[in-house]
Structure 1
């Protein structure tokens, strides 16, 4: 009897340990633009100009994207570049990545974002944003996890947002600025394929040391300031017949 109880205790401890580990880890994503689709939405471009872009850039959109990473546990997350320095697949060309880090504290309902935009560096600190997600009755496999589909809408950029989240990892974190689902977002689709951020690797492990924020400087703003900056920039760019997304994140 004692031996049986001991065995059951060990099994329970192992099960609880495995369950606890499901709520922390590092996810590596591939963040990819389809510039042909992005430009096809620009109303000021003629059909001839769009066709020319298709011929010029057709093969480039099939290449690799930018590596990003999400470090998370059940209390907080950090989303940033996979490497501080960008590099082509053959290693011949490299460049400094722009400042970009998105921090979420779910426990304190706090956000911090550090990014370069419109030629300046900003430091956004505010309360957590909420999204009006609509969970759909569809599933698919992403990085070995069964994911459910959810949709929302970005009224500032006029974008349809589709997320695929894994309930097996019950953390409300996700890539870019998106969060708030009953499972971590493993794939994000903006405007039906204009931008796709898809998990390539999921490592479930302790990340206490990885969740330390670096020192960050920039012009301090709030969510409302950020929204107004984007609205004005997008309107001014379209009026001047420029693609607004060359200088802001899509």
Structure 2
């Protein structure tokens, strides 16, 4: 009888562990244009006025995203199915699909920017995170704070990760922490991506499989960073916001 009870206890423990390494997370991404524009001292008066007019009634741009994950890989993009707008239309969004293969330490990103679609394929290099002595609750999970920097874009990155979901995944291009990232803050509130709901379920590899056909210009991490840096430099010289045509 004792051996049967022990077996049941072990199976329940295994199921709980497995459950915490596979699931689906719904995020809300909030971009505040006024904060972004105010940060850019190089913008011309005309550019600032254009931005103020464009975003006068919609300063906060909100978008939904979904992260699928298991121990081996993750996939981050827009929800597969979205509700139609009030007028019955579904707006087409720019291509943005982020794949991570933790077993093979490989990244594949399909990103539309600068008028083209780029396919970024390379080895997975995680940021140099510094874990801080701060915690807060997000979507029912206690999370620890970690910080790093995007040196290409000059952005301060703050992540809040749940170490009791032991998967090194996260939203956007960020991963590499000893727990799943449930909130990502870019430049102290310019953009904040927060988990709204965490569903622990079995996620099959097929749900996160790469498309059989990928159309776009291929680059590696170095070429991608050079492209971004060059675009930012050109935009600064022209006194315009580089993020009109590129993810912030």
Shorter-chain TM-score above 0.5: yes
Q: Find the aligned partners of 1:30 and 1:101 in 2 and give their Cα distance.
A: 16
In the alignment, is residue 174 of structure 1 matched against residue 187 of structure 2?
A: no
The structural deviation recorded for 1:84 is: 6.3
Deviation at 1:98, TM superposition (A): 1.3
SS of residue in 2 equivalent to 1:11:
helix
Q: 1:227 aligns with which of 215, 225, 240?
A: 225
Deviation at 1:185, TM superposition (A): 0.3
Q: Distance in 1 between matches of 2:37 and 2:29?
A: 18
- Residue 82 (structure 1) shift: 1.4
Q: What's the CA shift for 1:18? A: 1.1
1:117 paired with 2:122, answer: no
* CA deviation vs aligned residue, 1:136-182 (integer Å, no higher than 9, x gap): 00000111110000000011000000000001100000001000000
TM-fit CA distance, 1:130: 2.1
Aligned residue in 1 for 2:242: 244
**Contact 2:43–2:241, Cα closer than 8 Å, also in 1:** no
| Cα deviation code 1:62-93 (max 9, x no counterpart) | 56x111111111111111111466854x3544
* 74 and 229 in structure 1: CA distance in 2 versus 1, 3 angstrom threshold: same
Q: 8 Å contact 1:36–1:58 — kept in the other structure? A: no
**Does structure 2 conserve the Cα–Cα contact (< 8 Å) formed by 1:99 and 1:114?**
yes
Distance change (3 Å), C-alpha of 1:192 and 1:207: same
In the alignment, which of 17, 20, 39 is matched to residue 19 of structure 1? 17
User: Structure 2 vs 1, CA of residues 86 and 158 (structure 1 numbering), >3 Å: closer, same or farther?
Assistant: farther
Displacement after TM superposition at 1:221 (Å): 0.5
**Equivalent residue number for residue 149 of structure 1:** 145
Question: CA contact under 8 A between 2:43 and 2:240: conserved in structure 1?
Answer: no
Is 1:27–1:71's contact at 8 Å kept on the other side of the alignment? yes
Structure 2 spans left out of the alignment, 5+ residues: none
Equivalent position of 1:199 in the other structure: 195
Partner SS for 1:60: coil
CA distance 1:62–1:119, change in 2 (3 Å): closer
Compute the TM-score of the two structures, normalised by the length of structure 1: 0.91
Q: Distance in 1 between matches of 2:47 and 2:12?
A: 61
Gaps of 5+ in 1: none
The correspondence for 1:70, drawn from 67, 70, 73, is 67
1:84 and 1:223, CA in 2 relative to 1: closer, same or farther beyond 3 A? farther
**Which of 113, 123, 130 is matched with 2:126 structurally?**
130
Which SS does the other structure have where 2:145 is aligned?
strand
| Higher mean C-alpha deviation, range 168-177 or range 215-224 | 215-224
2:37 pairs with 1:44: no
